[in-house]
Amino acid sequence: MMDHSNVTTSFDIAGRKVSKHLGVVKGIIVRSRSVIGNFGAAIQSIFGGNITLYTELCEQARDDAYSLMISHAESMGADGVVGVCYDATEISAGITEVLCYGTAVKLE
């Protein structure tokens, strides 16, 4: 199991030396909003502020994409992942792809 302190958006890990780059790793999840979720969000939007139903959906999608990326890195024998980024693309109305990617590394 990977130590999540060795997963970072930077390109180095404090106190550790990268001994080998193993390649790009990624986690991709595609999510849609439900009719009930859209209705609840529409009600929340009437009052303004944070639309918590969408916030929770986005956070869960990012968590799922991150977990898939970590699994990919572990399958390659990585000790860490550097240069981690997220990206999101709307595939069609109400359907969004969330991508988490980085470079799997071996550490000394």
Mean pLDDT of 96-106: 97
66 residue type, one letter: Y
Count the domains in the chain: 1
Range of the domain at 71: 4-32+63-107
How many degrees, rounded to 5, is the angle at CA 71 between CA 81 and CA 8? 20
Q: What is the pLDDT of residues 50-77, one digit of tens each?
A: 777 778 888 999 999 999 999 999 999 9
Give 85's Cβ-side CA count (13 Å radius).
7
CA separation for the pair 82, 73 (Å, rounded): 11
Band of residue 36 on the pLDDT scale cut at 50, 70, 90: low
Count of residues making up the chain: 108
Question: Is 11 a domain residue?
Answer: yes
56: in domain: no
